[in-house]
Amino acid sequence: MAKPGFFSPLLLLLLFAIFRATLSTNSPDIVSDQTALLAFKSHISHDPHNLLATNWSSSASVCNLIGVTCGSRHHRVTALNLSSMDLTGTIPSQLGDLSFLASLDIRHNSFHGSLPTELTSLHRLKYLNFGNNSFSGEIPSWFGYFTTLQSLYLYDNNFTGVIPSTFGNLSKLETLSMHNNNLQGKISSVIGNLTSAVEINLTYNNFKGHLPSWTFDNLSKLQLLHLRENRISGTIPSSISKCKELWFLSLNKNSLEGSIPIEIGNLTMLEYLDLGYNNLNGQIPSSICNLSSLLGLSLFNNNLDGAIPECIGSSASSLVYLELGENNFHGKIPDTFAQVCTLLSFQISNNQIEGSLPRSLVNCKDLKLLDVGNNYLNDTFPAWLGNLEQLQVLILRWNRFHGQVGSPEVTVSFTRLRAVDISHNNFSGYLPVKFLKNLHAIREGYEKKDKQEYMEDVLAFGTWNYAFRLSFTTKGLETEFEKLLTIWTAIDFSNNQFCGEIPKTLGDLHSLIVLNLSHNCLIGPIPSSLGDLSELESLDLSSNQLQGRIPTEFTNLGFLEVVNLSHNDLKGPIPKGKQFDTFTNDSYIGNLGLCGLPLSKSCGNDEGTRTPARLDKDGDDDDDDGINWKFSILMGYGCGLVLGLSMGYIVFATGKPWWFIRIYERVRQRCAKR
């Protein structure tokens, strides 16, 4: 039996009042939130995982919907997070009715179209992430109404046009991320007014104009500034030193000129300074020595000259990347690499550096890449580098190194080396058997072929973007590599004075892809063991005094694309079958004793399976593949033909050609001398 007192009319009235109150304050608004979300759902045209289709039903409670967060006090939708759901759709105007929304995250989907003006009602918005979608059109000027906005991510879309001036109203904005769009306009009108900015990322756009001194006047909180790959010109203003908190600065691939301001030394928090691929000139300011936290420094591809400051080496106690290549630096590399040297990569190619390779580099135990190519270094072979167990890429090309490639100082040395280029020096003596035997990485093939890993992944550290290119001769072409696959292996000993026979053990380097021993004084037969180099794509033994026959084992080299055996004393028939049917005369000229196709000299009984008509046409009726082979050969061989051709492993630089021209000139000079 119920207790009548308990259900007294007064109490019922009270309960009813409470119920009504709840209804009137919350229900209509949560209902409008629900309407807005269902409108949003109806604009989703593709939901492959059926996430919203099943979960966002009209009967479910709004705050329980996937991706929805409600405020604990008002029970209104405060956050919507639909990131990485593979959704395709557009943004409906009703989304503007989520009037309590503070955070909207729809990154990593395929939303497209333009943004409805009604979104301006979202005046509580602090976090907005539309990154990695397919939005296009101009960025609406009403973004300037989001005066409470702290984080705005519009990166990886297809926004075009200028950033509206109303962005100057975003005085609370801490993060502005718009990289990878097609935005343009003056850079100064974008960043100067964002007085709360901590991080600005405008990488990969088309911003132009210069950085006026006042740009940095009020950016005292700025920590990261990414302006890489735009078209910013003029000088780097000294006022940049007002950004006292700055620890990341990338101006890579712009058109900046003038000298590096000495005030840069005031940015004592700086860890990454990337000024590569600009037109900066003058010397490196010595104030750079005050940047004791510096981890990465790139001045690659500028017009800087003068000497390398002594401190560069000693501050290498913190430096991880040092990229000084393609400038006009001269003098010596300071022999001041700190006892505890943390360098992973040291790149100083294409300068006018003299003297010897600093012995203190041996302190840099983690060094993976050393490129000192195209300088005037005068030294003997740095066998002591064999102590650097991590070394993978060693480039000494185009210098004045001389003497024998001596025995390494330690028994296990150069074991991880997979790309070594000591070409165009004055090395002499026999080919270094012991050195070659030690190249375990090339022999065993540490790297898995199916693993698409690039050198930049190997060198990855923090937020640094590997920003230089390497240059190798492969398949007869001087080739610039902006990315280098870790499975890529190369030995280039060409244009030295290596004499004697080619050691048989070379055939043990099973993962070798590029072998160039051309322009030496090698004698004797080509060892048939070279037929074991099953990964080989490019073989150049030209301009030596090699004798005997071309080993028939060479037909096993299934990946061989380019072969050059010209200008030797080879004789006998040219092997037939597979790749060997695609090589042309150029591969063999200058060997009086060779016979058989593609040469016009027949070998007598061996030959004759093909008609002379075919011979005359010289492969004019080649299929597509044949034409391709031929194209690379024609482009590649012969002095002075220094051309780039995309070939699987390479990604070309589209930048300035002057360096290229310089190489070209050097090659031409060499050729002229011959």
Nearer to ligand NAG, 248 or 488 (CB): 248
Contacts (Cβ under 8 Å, ≥6 apart) of 672:
none
The C-alpha atoms of residue 238 and residue 223 are separated, in whole angstroms, by: 17
Nearer to ligand NAG, 108 or 172 (CB): 108
DSSP string for 342-380:
--SEEE--SSEEES---GGGGG-TT--EEE--SS----B
Nearer to ligand NAG, 21 or 66 (CB): 66
The C-alpha atoms of residue 543 and residue 457 are separated, in whole angstroms, by: 37
Nearer to ligand NAG, 398 or 637 (CB): 398
Shortest CB 332 distance to ligand NAG, Å: 12
Question: Cβ distance 514 to 448 under 8 Å?
Answer: no
Shortest CB 392 distance to ligand NAG, Å: 24
H/E element, 210: strand 206-210
Nearer to ligand NAG, 180 or 349 (CB): 180
List for the chain the helix, strand, coil content (%; round to 5).
25, 25, 50
Nearer to ligand NAG, 19 or 214 (CB): 214
Judge residue 406's burial from the number of C-beta atoms within 10 Å of its C-beta, 0-12 exposed, 13-18 middle, 19 or more buried. middle
Q: What are phi and psi of 93, to 5 degrees?
A: -60, -30
Nearer to ligand NAG, 62 or 490 (CB): 62
Judge residue 22's burial from the number of C-beta atoms within 10 Å of its C-beta, 0-12 exposed, 13-18 middle, 19 or more buried. exposed
Question: Cβ distance 179 to 155 under 8 Å?
Answer: yes
Q: What are phi and psi of 60, to 5 degrees?
A: -75, 155
Which long-range contacts link 587-593 to residues 24+ away (Cβ below 8 Å)? 587/562, 587/563, 587/633, 587/637, 590/542, 590/566, 591/565, 591/566, 591/567, 593/569
b/e map of 447-461 (b: 16 or more CB within 10 Å)? beeeeeebbbebbee
Contacts (Cβ under 8 Å, ≥6 apart) of 400:
376, 377, 378, 379, 425, 426
Helix, coil or strand: residue 448: coil
Nearer to ligand NAG, 279 or 428 (CB): 428
Shortest CB 309 distance to ligand NAG, Å: 9
Shortest CB 127 distance to ligand NAG, Å: 5
Shortest CB 53 distance to ligand NAG, Å: 10
Shortest CB 177 distance to ligand NAG, Å: 5
- Give the pair of three-digit tokens for residue 527: 């060892």
Amino acid sitting at position 29: D
- Give the pair of three-digit tokens for residue 47: 């939901």
Nearer to ligand NAG, 24 or 669 (CB): 669
Shortest CB 152 distance to ligand NAG, Å: 12
Q: Which residue is nearest to ligand NAG (CB)?
A: 168
**Can you give the binding site for ligand NAG, defined by CB under 6 A?**
55, 57, 60, 64, 66, 81, 83, 86, 103, 105, 108-109, 127, 132, 136, 144-145, 147, 156, 158, 160, 165-166, 168-169, 177, 179-180, 192-193, 201, 203-204, 214, 217-218, 226, 241, 262-263, 265-266, 286-287, 289-290, 378, 400, 402, 426, 428, 497
Nearer to ligand NAG, 399 or 415 (CB): 399
The C-alpha atoms of residue 299 and residue 367 are separated, in whole angstroms, by: 19
Selection from 531, 416, 537, 425 nearest residue 474 by Cα = 537
Shortest CB 180 distance to ligand NAG, Å: 5
Shortest CB 457 distance to ligand NAG, Å: 13
Three-state SS for 513-558 is CEEECCCCEEEEECCHHHHHCCCCCEEECCCCEEEECCCHHHHHCC
Counts of helices then strands in the chain (DSSP H, E): 10, 42
Shortest CB 219 distance to ligand NAG, Å: 9
Shortest CB 379 distance to ligand NAG, Å: 8
Strands 538-540 and 127-129: unpaired
Which residues of 6-154 form beta strands (DSSP E)? 44-46, 68-70, 77-81, 88-89, 103-105, 110-113, 127-129, 134-138, 151-153
Shortest CB 552 distance to ligand NAG, Å: 36
Shortest CB 67 distance to ligand NAG, Å: 8
Shortest CB 316 distance to ligand NAG, Å: 17
Nearer to ligand NAG, 392 or 399 (CB): 399
Nearer to ligand NAG, 109 or 327 (CB): 109
- Can you give the length of the chain in residues? 674
The C-alpha atoms of residue 430 and residue 403 are separated, in whole angstroms, by: 10
Shortest CB 244 distance to ligand NAG, Å: 8
Nearer to ligand NAG, 165 or 600 (CB): 165
Nearer to ligand NAG, 81 or 390 (CB): 81
Nearer to ligand NAG, 351 or 474 (CB): 351
Shortest CB 604 distance to ligand NAG, Å: 43
Nearer to ligand NAG, 192 or 596 (CB): 192
